């Protein structure tokens, strides 16, 4: 959900009322921190600091780092974190040490950063001797890598002082919306040797910088290696805008090199027909869109969305016109043979429903210039009521589908059996019942019975081959 200005102002008023008129309420102390978070989000660092200091006993380490790294007042953040660590003897929070070391590195104090990391490792080791908490084991290894990195940065800086070229490079780029540079956007850098997961998000814990008034950013003193560069931008800046990923983003920083990553957003291509309310009953769907300036060709991107995720991979078809035809059968096969189970070995709703229960064909258009560069897209980053991602419904939603989504499978079975009595050729019911008997009751004879009826009506070969496969069970 995108926080509107109205929602943010309401939240600010409520939190201020909480701390002003209900100071004895246990939640009042948290009101200061929530206000600090909101003001950091809004880029009002002066107000953020006021509330952060007032509620510092409850302050998250990442929040402190985010504020003082954004303002460049590293010493203020360092003093606050040192005070919190010194006065909190009853509970060890490794994130305070991590954020403190990050601020030391930002201010060029590598010895202090190394010492802080070493303190954290030693304390984590003490905890591990008492209880083998996996979190502390992982964080300890992470800290060891950070110590090595800080030592390398310190060495490179010492070489620079001696007139020897440093191995460190820099990351730079620009954030634009419709060609206009955007100020105040957070650019995160994630060292893949330290952080293995692919998700970057907008974590306060990751090192970051802020774009200038023209949208440019630069992160210097970066060691050679593999990095993910992420972005934290206010949603209202990119409502109705599509992100143009030209697949030219760089990840590997060479010694003394430059890692260049631009983030380009543009107003979405306008889809003319159909609208988002249409339901498809035929096998073909005509799509048209407004011609895009500078476009030499387009690609129509289509895929199937089903219960629990995507049913098929995205498919691209090239065209030079501003219209195209979606072949529904190509995108949405009649038989979804994938099955998944929860921790109790119970089939998931998507296993029984396949493409039924409001299966959707999603589609979008991308525009390319004469050199094949992506210059426009109809797929906005943020979905809202007024700015939807485009899709069409290809299957209706029945009451029995709702029961399946609630995992009331036996009740759903009874509902579909009753519905099938009245509608004996309803492929929706036949499909669900075939899947139910195969995966819920392992009654393969009944599953084959419904698959046989499905094949007789649809002539889809997958039903026949799956039915034959059940003969071995």
Q: Which long-range contacts (CB under 8 A, 24 or more apart) does 15-21 make?
A: 19/54
Instruction: Please tell me the predicted confidence (pLDDT) of residue 198.
Output: 63
Measuring CA to CA, how many Å separate 122 from each of 92, 103, 139, 174, 393? 11, 20, 11, 40, 57
Q: Which domains does the chain have, with CATH numbers?
A: 5-161 (1.25.40.10), 169-267 (2.60.40.10), 271-393 (2.60.40), 399-470 (1.25.40.10)
Number of H helices, E strands in the chain: 15, 19
pLDDT of residue 79: 96
Q: 10-residue block means of pLDDT along the chain (473 residues)?
A: 81 94 88 94 94 87 93 96 84 87 95 95 75 69 93 94 93 96 94 76 74 96 94 88 81 94 94 74 83 94 76 72 86 75 88 84 90 92 62 82 95 97 94 95 95 92 90 74
Give the whole-angstrom CA distance, residue 194 versus residue 295: 41
Phi-psi region of 61 (alpha: psi -120 to 50; beta: other; left: phi over 0): alpha
- How high is the pLDDT of residue 387? 46
Q: Is the peptide bond before 330 cis (omega within 30 degrees of 0)?
A: no
Place of tokens 């100071």: 23
Tokens of 212: 């200038």
Burial of 15 (0-12, 13-18, 19+ CB in 10 A): buried
CA distance 304 to 331: 6
Task: Quick: pLDDT tens for 394-444.
Answer: 777 899 999 999 999 999 999 999 999 999 999 999 999 999 999 999 999
| 451-458, long-range: CB < 8 A, 24+ apart | 454/427, 454/430, 457/425, 457/427, 457/430, 458/334, 458/427
Dist. CA 227–CA 193, nearest whole Å: 8
Taking a C-beta distance cutoff of 8 angstroms, is the pair 374, 264 a contact? Answer: no
The pLDDT value recorded for residue 472 is 74
Q: What pLDDT score does 195 carry?
A: 84
Give me the sign of the Cα torsion angle 126, 62, 12, 79.
positive
Cα atoms in the Cβ-side hemisphere of radius 13 Å centred on 444: 8
Asked if 325 and 283 touch (Cβ cutoff 8 Å), the reply is: no
Q: Would you call 445 exposed, middle or buried from its count of C-beta atoms within 10 A (0-12, 13-18, 19+)? A: exposed
Task: Tell me the sheet residues that pair with 228.
Answer: 190
Q: How far apart are CA 350 and CA 343, in angstroms?
A: 15
Using DSSP, state whether 401 is helix, strand or coil. helix
Yes or no: say if 32 and 45 are a contact pair by the CB < 8 Å rule. no
8 A C-beta contact, residue 281 and residue 193: no
- Asked if 284 and 324 count as a contact pair (C-beta separation under 8 A), the reply is no
The answer to whether 322 and 294 have CB atoms below 8 angstroms apart is no
Helix, strand and coil content of the chain, in percent to the nearest 5, comes to 45, 20, 35
Give the closest residue to 100 by CA, choosing from 227, 88, 172. 88
Buried residues in 134-146 as b, exposed as e (16+ CB within 10 A): eebeebbebbeeb
Question: What is the pLDDT, as a whole number, of residue 89?
Answer: 64
Contact 408, 28 (CB under 8 A): no
Strands 297-306 and 180-181, bridge-based pairing = unpaired
Q: Which two tokens stand for residue 380?
A: 């906005």
Write out the two tokens for 369.
Answer: 């210039």
Residues 35/44, Cβ–Cβ less than 8 Å: no
């Amino acid at each position: 959900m995108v926080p509107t200005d109205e929602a943010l102002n309401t939240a600010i008023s409520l939190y201020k009322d909480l701390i002003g008129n209900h100071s004895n309420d246990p939640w009042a102390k948290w009101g200061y921190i929530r206000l600090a978070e909101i003001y950091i989000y809004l880029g009002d660092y002066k107000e953020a600091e006021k509330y952060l200091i007032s509620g510092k006993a409850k302050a998250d380490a990442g929040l402190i780092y985010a504020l003082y790294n954004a303002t460049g007042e590293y010493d203020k953040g360092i003093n606050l974190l040192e005070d919190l660590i010194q006065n909190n003897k009853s509970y060890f929070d490794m994130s305070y040490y991590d954020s403190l070391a990050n601020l030391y590195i930002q201010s060029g104090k590598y010895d202090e950063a190394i010492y802080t990391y070493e303190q954290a490792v030693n304390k984590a080791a003490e905890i591990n001797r008492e209880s083998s908490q996996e979190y502390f084991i992982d964080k300890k290894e992470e800290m060891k890598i950070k110590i090595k990195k800080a030592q390398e940065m310190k060495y490179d800086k010492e070489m620079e002082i001696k007139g020897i070229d440093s191995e460190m490079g820099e990351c730079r780029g620009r954030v634009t919306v419709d060609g206009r540079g955007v100020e105040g956007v957070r650019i995160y850098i994630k060292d893949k040797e330290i952080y293995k997961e692919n998700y970057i998000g907008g974590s306060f814990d990751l090192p970051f910088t802020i774009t200038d008034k023209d949208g440019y950013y630069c992160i210097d003193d970066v060691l050679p290696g593999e990095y993910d560069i992420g972005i934290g931008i206010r949603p209202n800046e990119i409502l109705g805008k599509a992100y143009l990923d030209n697949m030219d983003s760089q990840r590997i920083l060479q010694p003394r090199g430059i890692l260049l990553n631009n983030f380009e957003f543009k107003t979405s291509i306008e889809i003319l027909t159909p609208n988002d309310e249409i339901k498809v009953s035929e096998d073909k769907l005509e799509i048209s869109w407004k011609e895009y300036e500078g476009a030499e060709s387009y690609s129509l991107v289509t895929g199937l969305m089903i219960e629990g995720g995507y049913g098929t991979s995205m498919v691209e078809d090239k065209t030079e016109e501003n219209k195209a035809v979606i072949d529904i059968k190509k995108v949405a096969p009649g038989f979804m043979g994938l099955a998944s189970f929860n921790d109790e070995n119970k089939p998931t709703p998507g296993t029984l429903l396949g493409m039924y229960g409001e299966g959707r064909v999603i589609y979008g258009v991308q525009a390319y210039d004469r050199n094949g560069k992506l210059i426009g897209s109809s797929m906005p980053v943020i979905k809202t009521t007024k700015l939807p991602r485009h899709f069409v419904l290809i299957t209706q939603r029945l009451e029995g589908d709702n029961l399946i989504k609630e995992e009331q499978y036996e009740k759903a079975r009874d509902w579909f059996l009753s519905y099938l009595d009245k509608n004996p050729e309803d492929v929706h019911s036949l499909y669900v019942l075939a899947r139910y008997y195969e995966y819920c009751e392992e009654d393969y004879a009944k599953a084959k019975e419904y698959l046989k009826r499905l094949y007789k009506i649809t002539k889809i070969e997958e039903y026949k081959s799956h039915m034959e496969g059940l003969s071995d069970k």
